[in-house]
Structure 1
Amino acid sequence: MAVVDWIVLCATLAFIVFYGVWKTRGSKSVEDYIRGGGNAKWWTIGLSVMATQASAITFLSTPGQAFHDGMGFVQFYFGLPLAMVVICLIFVPIYHKLKVYTAYELLEQRFDLKTRTLTAILFLIQRGLAAGITIFAPSIILSAVLGWNLQTLNILIGILVIIYTVSGGTKAVSVTHKQQMFVIMVGMFFTFFFILGTLPPDVSLGDSLKIAGATDKLNILDFGLDTRNRYTFWSGITGGFFLMLSYFGTDQSQVQRYLSGKSIRESQLGLIFNGILKVPMQFFILLVGVMVFIFYQYQSSPLNFNPAARDAVVNSTLAEDYSLLQEEHEALEKEKRMAQNEYTKALQLKDFNSIEQARINILAINDRENENRKVARTMIEEADPDVETNDKDYVFIHFILNNLPMGLVGLLLAVILSAAMSSTASELNALGTITALDLYKRNRSNTLNDSHYVLATKGFTLLWGVIAIIIACVANLFDNLIQLVNIIGSIFYGNVLGIFLLAFFFKYIKGNAVFLAAILTQIIIFVLFFTLIFPYESGQEKLGYLWLNAIGCVLVIVLASLFELFDKLLRKEPINV
């Protein structure tokens, strides 16, 4: 990287950290530290909610996902706007009415302490894992591409987040999210227009989208009913809806964002703001990935975007075979550029027969190129089984470092690290809060003053920061990072959502039935995951992971109802629904 890139990167990160510490100095009460004083405006809430979900994984993995598989991943978010409406109408008024600090306080009031504790522990497990992954994601990729030490990056990112999260609590997270989202979106817009400017003069935005369409990258909607497909319209508005409803309605990392709202209306407006903008934002990030694909239709690309993978095979006994494959790849790229030029000319002449023939040629060349990439991955794995051959998460960072001008490289790296910090800060803030209030404070026999619990929350936040760094240091890639985080969430979220829905709408069901149902449901979900999803490669699963959210939610409600019914029958009590 050039000196100017280092300046842009360091200045951006330093500003965010010191701004967060400065703006939130002096938080001494639980109300200030955990709920941010309860005076956040709707735009702060909306941007903080968006930034919490938009981790570095979003900006590293999503463009790579679109590069390889097209825009279909956007269907994952189709359930989000509907989830926002439900949360605004049901969850937000209840949380504000009860004046809770955590979502799980409500469960003790409705059921009992053991149900509250179990649900809090389920949250801590899945969110603790996710916090480590959000640190690991940018670290592993920046380490491979820039040659930086992986463990040093994990520790550096973790420490930067811990500094302002521990010092300022919820308010520090919220106020820094605004700056982080600004940096993130500016960087993505710059990238989009830079790619557009590097395309051949006779290729307009419209032409580039037609090229993307010709290679099936713009296939957004899939109305198929095959539950094995990960991303369809139906899985998005059902499984995705349950996932988003649980994530935004019961996950403390998100609930804590809108509990800081000045009023119910401010919290609701912030969530609606997120619901309106989130899908277009994800659509645009995927579109950037498609534009990267278009860019490499005219420019040279590596057989594998992970430089560590390439180095592994080049320095092995397979180097000669890999070199021959690289020559074939370069020849295909020349054919591809010629085919793209023919397609563009056919578009300009509006010769539909020529357009179709050119499209078929492009698809055939891309199929041959994909086959060569598969062969390359096989060679790399044979050369070094420990190196990561799946390069989806390396596509965008490779493009940034090898093609963007000075200054913009530093800005985009700041985007990635800012996103990592924004998401991890929310997670650590929530983890520390839940541990301090739902476990530590609630299970103490004596009550201490506010300053003690603020100090305890800071201590637990620091502890979770250290745990997240440790998880990052031992983590590994899995297919695609953005999918890994959603898979982990899907294992737990349906169960947790069902517990909350039981609390809201099933007044006749008591704590013992819910507690037993939640434990049994989680066991069943683990069994489904390890038999129908985990043993199989991406696209070969027997069940799309998004369906776990709906299954878990329905299952815990049904089991709790049955347990309560059975208990009343044994006691010969009247059943009042």
Structure 2
Amino acid sequence: MSLPDWLVLAGTLGFIVIYGVWKTRGSKDIEGYLKGDNSMKWWTIGLSVMATQASAITFLSTPGQAYEDGMRFVQFYFGLPIAMVIISVTIIPIFYRLKVFTAYEYLESRFDLKTRTLAALLFLIQRGLAAGITIYAPAIILSSILSWSLTITNVVIGVVVIIYTVSGGTKAVSVTQKQQMAVMMGGMVVAGVMVVRFLPADVSFGDAVAVAGKMGKMNIVDFSFDWDDRYNFWSGITGGLFLSLSYFGTDQSQVSRYIGGRSLAESRLGLLFNGLLKIPMQFFILFIGVMVFVFYQFNQAPVFFNQATKERAEATKYASELQQLEEQHRTISVQKQAAVRELVANIQAGDEAQADITSVKARSLVKQERAVRANVKEVIQKALPMAETKDTDYVFLSFVTNFLPVGLVGLLLAVILSAAMSSTASELNALASTTVVDIYRRSVKQEASSSHYLFASRAFTVAWGVIAIMFATYASLLDNLIQAVNIIGSIFYGTILGVFLVAFYFRYIKGNAVFMGALVAEAIVLYCHFYTDIAFLWFNVIGCAFVILFGFIFQFFLNRKTT
């Protein structure tokens, strides 16, 4: 990177951290540290909720997801606005009435301590894993771009986040997330404008969208039903709804964002604000990925997007084989560019029939390119057995570093690191508050001063930060990262949501029954994950439904046993 890029990157991140520490310095008690003294306004809550969900994985993986698979991933979020309305109407008032620090406190008053502890532990497991991935996601890519070791990159990201999270707690997280969202969205808007500007002069924005459609990338809504299909309207509106209900209604990393609102109305407005803007935001980020795909229809795309790994493989005995494949890829690319040029001419002439014929030819050449890329990955795997060959998450960053002008590269890297810091800070804060409130204060040390619990909150923040850094350092890259995070969440969220829905709506079911039902439901979800091909979004529905079902069954037999 150039000096201006370094200055933009360091200046942006430095300002955010210093501002967060200064603005939220001096938390005196656990109320201020974990709930921000209930001082958050609705726009702060809304931006904080969005920034918590929009990790670095969003900005690294989502454009790559669209590059490979088109726009259909946006269907994943179709259930989110409905979930925001349900949570605002039913769940937030309960949390406010009970004045809880965490979502899981409510479960003890409704059921018993063991159910509260089980839900808290399930959250700690899945969120602890996710925290490691949210650090690892940008670190593994930025380490190659910046020529740093992966361990150093993990540590730098983790330590910076720990500093301001430990300093100011929940309020520091929420305050800094406003600046981080401004950087993130501003940077993505700039990237979107630039990729369109880089298209050939005779290709208009409308032509680019039409090309994307003919190439099968504008597949926004799919009404076909398939249990094994991860992204269609039905999985999004049902599985996505249940995932959103669980994530925003029972995940402490999100609950802590809105229970610190100045009033019930402020918290509700913040969540509804998120529901209104989330789908357009994800649509825009996916669309940037589609435009990057269109850009590479007129320009030579890398045969492997992780350039650092490719160069290492070229230093082995497999160099000639890689060179042959790259030449083959270049030849196909030239043919594809000619076909796409012909497609644009058909579109501009209004000849739909010929455009359809030409698009079939262009898409066939894209398939040939993918086949060559697959062969390249196999060769790299032979040359470097420990190397990661899944390069989808490098697509957008490769475009940024190779084509954006000086200064903007630093800004886009600041976007990625800001997103990593934002999401990780929320996770560490939630992990610490759940550990202190639901485990430590409730079951380990019940009688202590407020200052002791404040110190414990800071200590557990550091501890979870260290654990996340360690997991990030020794983790392996999991397929597409944004899918990996959502898969981990789906394995646990359905069960947690089921417990909460029983607590809210099924008074018949008591603590022992829901506890046993949750254990059975989680076992079934794990079986589905490891031994079936059911798409992960359905895990949320399955886990939730089986908690309720087995809760009723166990309660029926427990009632018969006592009569």
TM-score normalised by length of structure 1: 0.96
Aligned residues: 563
Q: Which moved more, 1:361-370 or 1:560-569?
A: 361-370
CA distance in structure 1 between the partners assigned to 2:126 and 2:518 by the alignment: 15
Runs of 4+ in 1 over 6 A off after TM superposition: none
- Once the 2 structures are TM-superposed, how far is the Cα of residue 219 of structure 1 from its aligned partner? 0.8
Residues 1:555 and 2:558 are matched in the alignment:
no
Match of 2:98 in 1: 98
How far did residue 560 of structure 1 move?
1.1
Alignment map for 1:354-373 (pairs within 5 Å): 354-373=354-373
Which residue of structure 2 lines up, in the alignment, with residue 231 of structure 1?
A: 231
Measure, in 1, the Cα distance between the counterparts of 2:450 and 2:353.
Answer: 75
What residue identity is the alignment partner of 1:519?
L
CA RMSD across the alignment: 1.0
Q: For the Cα contact (< 8 Å) 1:68–1:392, is it kept in 2?
A: yes
Answer whether contact 1:145 1:306 (CA < 8 A) is retained.
no
Identify if the C-alpha distance between structure 1 residues 446 and 341 changes in structure 2 by more than 3 Å, giving closer, same or farther: closer
Distance 1:392 1:370 in 2: 12
Whether contact under 8 Å (1:50, 1:274) holds in the other structure is yes
2: CA distance between counterparts of 1:527 and 1:93?
35
Aligned pairs (5 A) from 1:388-537: 388-444=388-444, 446-532=446-532
Residue type at the aligned position of 1:502: V
User: What amino acid is aligned across from residue 137 of structure 2 in structure 1?
Assistant: A
Distance 2:365 2:113 in 1: 62
Match of 1:546 among 537, 544, 553: 537
Q: How does 1:65-104 map to 2 (within 5 A)?
A: 65-104=65-104
Q: CA deviation at 1:147?
A: 2.0
3-state SS of paired residue (2:443): coil
* CA deviations over 1:297-320 (Å, ceiling 9, x no partner): 112211110124312431222221
Give the stretch that moved more between structures: 508-517 or 252-261.
508-517
2:57/2:481 contact within 8 Å kept = yes
Q: Which residue is equivalent to 1:537?
A: none
Bigger drift between 562-571 and 351-360 goes to 351-360
Q: How does 1:6-21 map to 2 (within 5 A)?
A: 6-21=6-21
Aligned AA (2:552): S
CA gap of 1:445–1:396, structure 2 versus 1, over 3 A, is closer
Instruction: Describe the SS at the equivalent of 1:238.
Output: helix
CA deviations on 1:442-477 (whole Å, 9 max, x unpaired) are: 114642221111111111111100110001011111
Cα distance in 1 for residues equivalent to 2:116 and 2:137: 31
Partner of 1:198: 198
Q: Deviations over 1:88-128 (max 9, x none)?
A: 01110100011111100000011111111111011000000
Q: Which residue of 2 aligns with 1:377?
A: 377
What does residue 293 of structure 1 align with?
Answer: 293
Work out whether residues 135 and 158 of structure 1, in 8 Å CA contact, stay in contact via their aligned partners in 2. yes
For 1:343-401, what per-residue CA distance to the aligned partner results, in whole angstroms no more than 9, with x for missing partners?
A: 22222222233322321221121111111111111211122221111110111111111
Preserved contact between residue 195 and residue 295 of structure 2 (Cα < 8 Å): yes
3-state SS, counterpart of residue 443 of structure 1: helix
Instruction: Check if 1:348 corresponds to 2:339.
Output: no
- Preserved CA contact (<8 Å) 2:431 2:461: yes
- Identify the residue that residue 244 of structure 2 maps to in structure 1: 244
In the alignment, the residues of structure 2 paired with residue 352 and residue 115 of structure 1 have an alpha-carbon distance, to the nearest angstrom, of 61
Q: Within 2, Cα distance between the matches of 1:450 and 1:65? A: 46
Q: Separation in 2 of the partners of 1:446 and 1:31?
A: 16
Check if 1:129 corresponds to 2:120. Answer: no
Tell me the distance in 2 between the aligned counterparts of 1:364 and 1:169.
53
Is the counterpart of residue 111 in structure 1 residue 111 in structure 2? yes
Partner of 1:321: 321
- What is the deviation of 1:33? 0.8
Post-superposition shift, 1:31? 1.5
* Distance (Å, rounded) in 2 between the aligned partners of 1:509 and 1:341: 64
| 2-structure distance, mates of 1:355, 1:118 | 58
The secondary structure found in structure 2 opposite 1:442 is: helix
Residue 309 of structure 2 aligns with which residue? 309
Partner of 2:556: 565
Which 5+ residue runs of structure 2 have no aligned equivalent? none
Q: Distance in 1 between matches of 2:145 and 2:385?
A: 19
- Give a deviation string over 1:52-98, Cα, whole Å, max 9, x none: 00000000000000001100111111110010011001110100011
Q: Is the Cα contact below 8 Å between 1:308 and 1:387 reproduced in 2? A: no
| Residues 77 and 236 in structure 2, CA contact (< 8 A), matched pair in contact too | yes
Matched, 1:331 2:327: no
Structure 2 length as normaliser, TM-score? Answer: 0.99
Name which of structure 1's ranges 318-327 and 415-424 shifts more when overlaid on structure 2: 318-327
User: What amino acid sits opposite 2:554 in the alignment?
Assistant: F
Q: Deviations over 1:164-222 (max 9, x none)?
A: 00000000000000000000001000001101111111111110001101110111111
Q: Which amino acid aligns with 1:128?
A: G
Return the alpha-carbon distance in structure 2 between the equivalents of residues 258 and 329 of structure 1: 50
Task: Name the CA distance, whole Å, in 2 between partners of 1:295 and 1:445.
Answer: 59
Q: Which runs of 5+ in 1 are unaligned?
A: 533-541, 573-577
Distance 2:441 2:74 in 1: 41
Query: Do residues 184 (structure 1) and 184 (structure 2) align?
Result: yes
CA distance in 2, matches of 1:29, 1:330: 63
Does the CA contact (< 8 Å) of 1:187 and 1:412 recur in 2?
Answer: yes
Query: CA separation in 1, counterparts of 2:61 and 2:416?
Result: 11
The within-5 A match list for 1:17-96 is 17-96=17-96
Partner of 2:211, secondary structure, is helix
The amino acid across from 2:395 in the alignment is V
Structure 1 position 342, deviation (Å): 1.5
1:271 partner amino acid: L
CA contact (8 A) 1:138 1:416 kept: yes
Equivalent runs, 1:271-290 vs 2, <5 Å: 271-290=271-290
Q: Is the 8 A contact 1:215 1:363 kept in 2?
A: yes
